[in-house]
Chain A
Amino acid sequence: MFPAAFDYVAARSRDEAYAALAEHGGGARVLAGGQSLIPAMRFRLARPSVLVDINRIADLAYVAESAGELRLGAAARDQAFELSPEIRSGRYPMLADVCAVVADPVVRQMGTVVGSLCHNDPAGDWPVAALAGNASVVVRGKGGERVVPIGEFIVDSYTTAVGDGEMALEVRFPTPTARTAGAYLKIERKVGDFATAAAAARVTLAEDGTIASASIALGAAGPCAFRVAEAERALTGAKPSAAAIAAAAAAARSAADPVTDTRGTVAYKKQMAGVLVERALRKAFARLGLENVR
């Protein structure tokens, strides 16, 4: 099962990649780890005429923290992120949750975080966490670089704000303050399978102990990952409580719009979206020192 024929450009620098993308426009795709793109090409779900390989661009493989943000270059691999001092520091617990469950440990040695965001699979892990983590993506187009909030970056199934001839250069995750914590959870039939259901929760506590802000995102629950505004409203301003958690979980259950497939029925997946939101919230609260919220 080989993909259709394509031309291959091994870009050695950002400028070489930009030039190749500009030259080939909509027929070209960026090749980073290839862990989603190559299977899609083999199944002929994707059929680019040119692949622009960015794996040799050393200055795109960084994981760096600066100015209150964690930044990952387009060629930064999942495993490099998982083993980075930034993730090991414990200051990004929600992102660490994701690092440990993306695909399988071998796939993570090739796959990239930015590549996963660009692939934007409805059941992908990083789009969910990026939404809950208020991430943004730096996209490089004809007019230069622009910073796109993740909510605008994610457009539809397998579709992002990256246009023809453009490429995503970097993802930025705001560094959580001491009063912010999140968690990411998913249900999968086996390691490496697409998620049956996935949820991320991130909360910030105010000085008085109430919830100053919350973001709740779901995956495998619609055409693409999305935030559940009603769940966030149920939490914002409330005291961390079982009732607030239950209200957020109910909102997630009702907002989830999955499809029945071999991984479960619509009813089961909606139920699991609620269960995962509850568990993710409890995990996030525990990370803020609030165990067993009642």
Chain B
Amino acid sequence: MKVSITVNGAAYERDVEPRVLLAYFLREDLGLTGTHVGCDTSSCGCCVVLIDGERAVKSCNMFAVMADGHEITTIEGMKAAGKLHPMQQAFTDQHGLQCGYCTPGMMATAIAFLKHNPDPTEAQIRDALSGNMCRCTGYNNIVKAVQQAAAELSAPPSEPPAPEPAVAS
């Protein structure tokens, strides 16, 4: 079936079999391997991408044909004008990753979450990330990263970015 899907701002026209899952379309047809497949059964959240910029979806649990006419954002498309997305910067600053396998999905989930809850509590962040598994970090630095990104994304544009938190030696 012919589909027209915008991925990271670029329009792709492709002929795909209906049974092809979005994660595999992104990785194998488009070569965007930043979208990771973990459990492949919709349990781990590694494959989460953004649809239309605002909804986080597990791309192993959606057919590529369902994305026809929609806009998908993967980790490769988060950087803008040569600058990391504030969420990427926050994960870097807060050391919110170790092996990095869950990170693209974590960030997509967190970005969608902050769209409807720009000033969340720690408990709300933990709840929002409960469908994304990380086997390395113990989640604390991921939560800190989302807090930093929330502060930065909700700050008025004229203000300088939030200062780097002090690191205990």
Contacts and interface: CB of A to CB of B under 8 A. Distances in A.
Interface string B119-131: 0000000011111
Contacts of A192: 43, 130-131
Given A2-B20, A6-B18, A8-B1, A107 B131 contact: yes
Contact of A6 (B19, B58, B66): B19
A187 to B, nearest CB: 16
Given A8-B63, A53-B66, A55-B66, A104 B130 contact: yes
Contacts of A39: 41-42, 61
Contacts of A3: 19
A203 B97 CA distance: 47
Interface in B44-64: 45, 48, 55-58, 61-63
B132 interface: yes
Q: Considering residues B18, B43, B128, which has the most beta carbons from chain A within 10 angstroms of its beta carbon?
A: B18
Given A6-B19, A83-B116, A192-B43, A106 B58 contact: yes
B43 A109 contact: no
A2 B62 CA distance: 11
B40 A1 contact: yes
Contacts of B113: 105
For chain B, give the interface size range: 20 to 34
Interface string B4-24: 000000000000011111001
A124 interface: no
Contacts of A38: 21, 42, 61-63
Contacts of B17: 5
B109 interface: yes
A251 interface: no
B66 A106 contact: no
A217 B34 CA distance: 44
A7 interface: yes
Interface of A: 1-8, 10, 31, 34-35, 38-39, 42, 51, 53, 55-56, 79, 83, 103-107, 109-110, 191-192
5 contacts: A5-B18, A7-B18, A83-B116, A106-B132, A192-B130
Interface of B: 1, 17-21, 24, 40-43, 45, 48, 55-58, 61-63, 65-66, 68-69, 109, 112-113, 116, 127-132
Given A10-B68, A106-B58, A109-B57, 19 more contacts: A3-B19, A5-B17, A6-B18, A10-B65, A38-B21, A38-B63, A83-B116, A104-B45, A105-B109, A105-B128, A105-B129, A105-B130, A106-B45, A106-B57, A106-B109, A106-B131, A109-B112, A110-B62, A191-B130
